[in-house]
Structure 1
Amino acid sequence: MSHAPQSVPATHPSGLRPIAKHVLLSAALTVVVLAVSWVLAGRIFWLPVLGFVLGSGAVAVLLWRHWSGSHLGAANALTLMRLALAALMLLPIARPDLTQGATGWAIFALALMTLALDGLDGPLARRSGLAGPWGARFDMEVDAVFGLLLALVVWRSGAAGVWVLLLGGMRYLFVLASFALPWLAQPLPQRFRRKLVCVLQIGALVVMLAPLVTPPLSQWIALVALGLLTWSFALDVIWLARRK
């Protein structure tokens, strides 16, 4: 579900070509985000556009500083597309009324598409020979942002209480805790369990966007997903605690 960047040292500059492609693709995706937001909201809505531009700008800086490939690669382009789709979730956060009726199904379809595309960037990266830590981190951060935005949409739509933000924000709480407890920042071994729970977490949040999924069903789905996520994080914390 995730892909990685090149294994070349991160200090080697990438040059202008990947940056130029990133900027051109970002410009095209910005127009798409604006157009989709306009169609869904019935007027020009700038928040998703602003969110994507900020995210894309941060990625451009990181590309310049750490990417050492000669080209951007299809996998990174796909991950950038998923970032644009994730930014569209800012629309129902600001306008929770859009989660109902036809626009609600459209938002559900966009979220489902974002989740489905997540399984393609890894194989693309491996096929192009650009698999490595940078792309894997890019993919992971887009997943994390997408999960948090989905949780905010679920909360704003009334499908679950404010506690559902834990389902989208637990990773960020873990990162914050690592500043106070540095041993939490140590690398973890690869585990299929972690990837599976991540898919179930995002999948549960996407399901809760469907207009037909309402309380109490949506609340039970969120509780089960939160329980699985808490269990997975607890296993990692215990593993790290035993090795500090």
Structure 2
Amino acid sequence: MTISIATMTAREGRGPIVGLAAQLVLMTALAATTGLSAAGWLAGTAYAVVLTVVLGAGLRRSGMRALGPANAVTLGRATLVGGVTALVVTSFTAPVPLPVLVTLVAVALALDGVDGQVARRTHSTTKLGARFDMEVDAFLILVLSVFVAGAFGWWTIAMGAFRYVFVAASWAWPWLNQPLPPKFSRKVVAAVQGVVLVVATASLLPDAVAFAVVAAALAALTWSFGRDVRWLWAAERRQRLADARARVAARRVVVLPAPRLRPQPAPVNA
């Protein structure tokens, strides 16, 4: 299956629709070769429809008339993630071929660095593209954490749920939405989650070793999120203190009335 980037970047409404069509083609191919359950079909289709609607809305809000080459690559990754979703849901009731599942995941992760490179080289970096890339990564981690839960226990879902719990918490505490300083360690921890879950999915390690590796990855993720939340809370406290001091200073300001000027006598003509 070949998807032309030029086609996917043609028009605003066309890119997401092409992605939806590609998703249905991929699931049809998976159903014909590996088999998909009804629930798998439903999950993959629902994922594709939601992606199409949300991405189209994002394009309209950002005023973009086309996806652009970088977002087209990300949409290709998102299509692969939809196939992974369909296979993982199918695995709840029937075995799925691990080589196919691992191949889809590996290609999706390999393309993770490609869209960023394309964006920089084509000078098409956008907030929508960065958010799109991040959300595709987050959902892939969630789906994989659900898959490995069958072997290691449902605690592994915490690896994928952290992102969504953080977003939900930000609705109640808006200070969690403040920008974070860039940290290389945050990027490393995020990348490790995908690698570890792929290794666990492919059963490349003995069960005991894989269990320990997944637990270590979750511990690293917990540390990373905990550090970020602590930094955001400290920044919020500093901002509140600065605001309180500004209010106190404003109340102490004494406004002196302007002096009254005496009327000057009119000049007398000589």
TM-score range, shorter chain: 0.7 to 0.9
Q: CA RMSD in A?
A: 2.0
- What secondary structure, in the 3-state scheme, does the structure 1 residue paired with 2:182 have? coil
Residue 230 (structure 2) aligned to one of 225, 229, 238: 238
Identity of aligned residues (%): 38
Residue 91 (structure 2) aligned to one of 92, 95, 104: 95
Residue 157 (structure 2) aligned to one of 165, 180, 204: 165
- Is the Cα–Cα contact under 8 Å of residues 151 and 164 in structure 1 kept in the other structure? yes
- TM-score normalised according to structure 2 size: 0.76
Residue 50 (structure 2) aligned to one of 54, 63, 66: 54
Offset at 1:179? Answer: 2.1
Partners of 2:170 and 2:46 lie apart in 1 by: 30
- Is the Cα–Cα contact under 8 Å of residues 88 and 143 in structure 2 kept in the other structure? no
Offset at 1:83? Answer: 1.0
Partners of 1:148 and 1:163 lie apart in 2 by: 12
Larger mean Cα displacement after TM superposition, 133-142 or 204-213 = 204-213
Q: Which runs of 5+ in 1 are unaligned?
A: 1-15
Partners of 1:43 and 1:186 lie apart in 2 by: 42
Residue 67 (structure 2) aligned to one of 69, 72, 75: 72
Partners of 1:162 and 1:229 lie apart in 2 by: 16
Offset at 1:43? Answer: 7.2
Partners of 2:191 and 2:132 lie apart in 1 by: 17
Offset at 1:214? Answer: 5.2
The aligned amino acid for 1:219 is F
Matched, 1:124 2:96: no
- What secondary structure, in the 3-state scheme, does the structure 2 residue paired with 1:138 have? helix
Aligned length: 223
Larger radius of gyration: 2
Q: Which runs of 5+ in 2 are unaligned?
A: 1-9, 237-270
Residue 142 (structure 1) aligned to one of 136, 143, 147: 136
User: Deviation string for 1:12-34 (max 9, x for gaps)?
Assistant: xxxx9222233234313421232
The aligned amino acid for 2:61 is R
Offset at 1:206? Answer: 1.1
- Is the Cα–Cα contact under 8 Å of residues 33 and 85 in structure 1 kept in the other structure? no
Partners of 2:99 and 2:11 lie apart in 1 by: 39
The aligned amino acid for 2:51 is G
Partners of 2:89 and 2:26 lie apart in 1 by: 19
The aligned amino acid for 1:54 is V
**Which structure has more RCO (C-alpha within 8 Å, separation ≥ 6)?**
1
Partners of 1:237 and 1:117 lie apart in 2 by: 29
The aligned amino acid for 1:132 is T
Residue 12 (structure 2) aligned to one of 14, 18, 27: 18
Q: 1:212 to 1:153 in 2, by over 3 A?
A: same
Matched, 1:184 2:176: yes
